[in-house]
Amino acid sequence: MPPFNVGRVPPATFGAGKIAKIPKIVRELGDGPVLIVCDAFLAEIGATEKLTKGLSAEGIVFELAADVSGEPKEALVDSLSARAREIEAGVVVGLGGGAAMDAAKLVAAIARSGRAAAEFALAAQPLPAGGIPAIAIPTTAGTGSEVTRTSVISQADGSKTWFWGEELMFAQAVLDPELTLSLPATLTAWTGIDAVAHALEGATARNTSPAGQLYGLEALRILTDALPRAVADGTDLEARGRVLWASMVAGLALHNCNTHMGHNISHALGSLVRIHHGLATGLALEASLPWLVAHPEGAENYARTAKAMGAAESAEALPEALSNLMRRCQISPDLPAECASVTVEALATEMRNPANIGMAQNAACAVNDDDLDQMASLMLRKTVVNA
Ligand SMILES: [Zn+2]
């Protein structure tokens, strides 16, 4: 067996109603005040109340920063860092989807240093030591941000950049499936397919390892059964819970082995048009998998992955297994209308961007410039015009 590393897993608490444990965890981590970074709409619909009432009841001071809407920007991270310094936050809580958790973990890591987020983009320099301990409370099931050491943030021009380092790990995660009950079917499907992609890409990457297989294949076994059920009936707490757990497990596959073509294409597309990350990633993986499995490299891993998804144990069976799961989750194979304006050249250029190319290089087979053009054309259902 070739050498590999197994990444750290933060302590996690799973169960309906477990958000009630947050005050106790805050005390264990060194006490408040607490800066709560969360999605604006969660505060609007009163979904932050369980958390804020619990903290108040225990006499823990907090500041609710319900400032995240859509992809968080570097400027937002910098202003939230300033707020954390002002209140001398002892703990940061990230409550929401991947955007809120990615913003929270970066704020927690850099706030005490007083330095700007941009200094650390693309791991240009190491993140400062001695960050504020942070707690993740996911309210969507998909990004796995609660267990990863990456944070994806938008720059002022809308293009995405990433941050990476052990300093971005949450100190604890609380997975409370009741928090995901209000998620509409479409978002349940889109965020869930993102988890499917993390598991599938982690288990089939060039960098895959026994850890990537352990987490990735188990997450796929759970998601193949539970995700369509959670989409069909959002009140099914059992299915919701299984999807929430599997999305954390899929996050661990990503954490250990990273992603490849699905995320290379979806990050590139997401820099050009507004499209949900999970939807873009599912469609990108569906467009690129037939090309990937036509190459001999990684065939065994593709086969194992197809089997974990309930299909025959062969690489050729994997694209159809993914397409079947997407259709059972009511995701149409059609590209959203907003993508019509994107040219193959523009998409391929973004796929080659230094922020994205590392993901393509993690595909099991070598991917050259012409291949990127071809996969951009497969994604957009347009022919290559710049060849
Ligand atoms: Zn993703």
Nearest CA among 366, 318, 371 for reference residue 348: 371
> 247 C-alpha to center of ligand 1: Å?
10
Q: How far apart are CA 75 and CA 111, in angstroms?
A: 13
Contacts by 13-18, CB closer than 8 A, 24 or more apart = 13/172, 13/173, 13/174, 13/175, 14/175, 14/176, 14/241, 14/244, 14/245, 15/175, 15/176, 15/177, 16/176, 16/177, 16/178, 16/237, 16/241, 17/176, 17/178, 18/174, 18/175, 18/176
Model pLDDT, residue 384: 64
Region 142-164: what's the mean pLDDT? Answer: 90
Model pLDDT, residue 386: 47
> 15 C-alpha to center of ligand 1: Å?
24
> 258 C-alpha to center of ligand 1: Å?
10
Contacts by 215-219, CB closer than 8 A, 24 or more apart = 215/249, 215/250, 215/252, 215/253, 215/256, 216/250, 216/253, 216/257, 216/305, 216/308, 217/304, 217/305, 217/308, 218/246, 218/249, 218/308, 219/195, 219/246, 219/247, 219/249, 219/250, 219/253
> 267 C-alpha to center of ligand 1: Å?
9
Least confident of 66-75, 123-132, 337-346: 66-75
Nearest CA among 5, 244, 270, 21 for reference residue 144: 244
> 139 C-alpha to center of ligand 1: Å?
16
> 27 C-alpha to center of ligand 1: Å?
32
What structural domains and CATH numbers belong to the chain?
12-180 (3.40.50.1970), 185-380 (1.20.1090.10)
The residue length of the chain stands at: 387
Q: Are 170 and 221 in contact (CB under 8 A)?
A: no
> 246 C-alpha to center of ligand 1: Å?
14
Model pLDDT, residue 385: 55
Nearest CA among 89, 170, 73, 74 for reference residue 120: 74
Q: Give the mean pLDDT of the chain.
A: 95
> 75 C-alpha to center of ligand 1: Å?
22
What would the pLDDT profile of 283-335 be if each residue is shown by its tens digit?
Answer: 999 999 999 999 999 999 999 999 999 999 999 999 999 999 999 999 999 99
Is residue 44's pLDDT more than 90?
Answer: no
Region 179-184: what's the mean pLDDT? Answer: 93
Environment class of residue 235 by beta-carbon count within 10 Å: exposed (0-12), middle (13-18) or buried (19+)? exposed
In this structure, are strands 160-164 and 150-154 parallel, antiparallel, or unpaired? antiparallel
What would the pLDDT profile of 228-267 be if each residue is shown by its tens digit?
Answer: 999 999 999 999 999 999 999 999 999 999 999 999 999 9
> 56 C-alpha to center of ligand 1: Å?
34
Is residue 383's pLDDT more than 90?
Answer: no
Query: Cα torsion for 6, 102, 267, 340, to the nearest 10°?
Result: 150
67 band by pLDDT with thresholds 50, 70 and 90: confident
Model pLDDT, residue 329: 98
> 30 C-alpha to center of ligand 1: Å?
32
Q: Are 376 and 347 in contact (CB under 8 A)?
A: yes
Q: How far apart are CA 265 and CA 342, in angstroms?
A: 13
382 band by pLDDT with thresholds 50, 70 and 90: confident
User: Which carries the bigger pLDDT value, residue 254 or residue 161?
Assistant: 254
User: Which carries the bigger pLDDT value, residue 44 or residue 188?
Assistant: 188
> 337 C-alpha to center of ligand 1: Å?
21
> 373 C-alpha to center of ligand 1: Å?
22
Rounded to two decimals, the pTM is 0.95
3-state per-residue secondary structure call for 241-294? HHHHHHHHHHHHHHHHHCCCHHHHHHHHHHHHCCCCHHHHHHHHHHHHHHHHHC
Q: Are 153 and 105 in contact (CB under 8 A)?
A: no
> 69 C-alpha to center of ligand 1: Å?
18
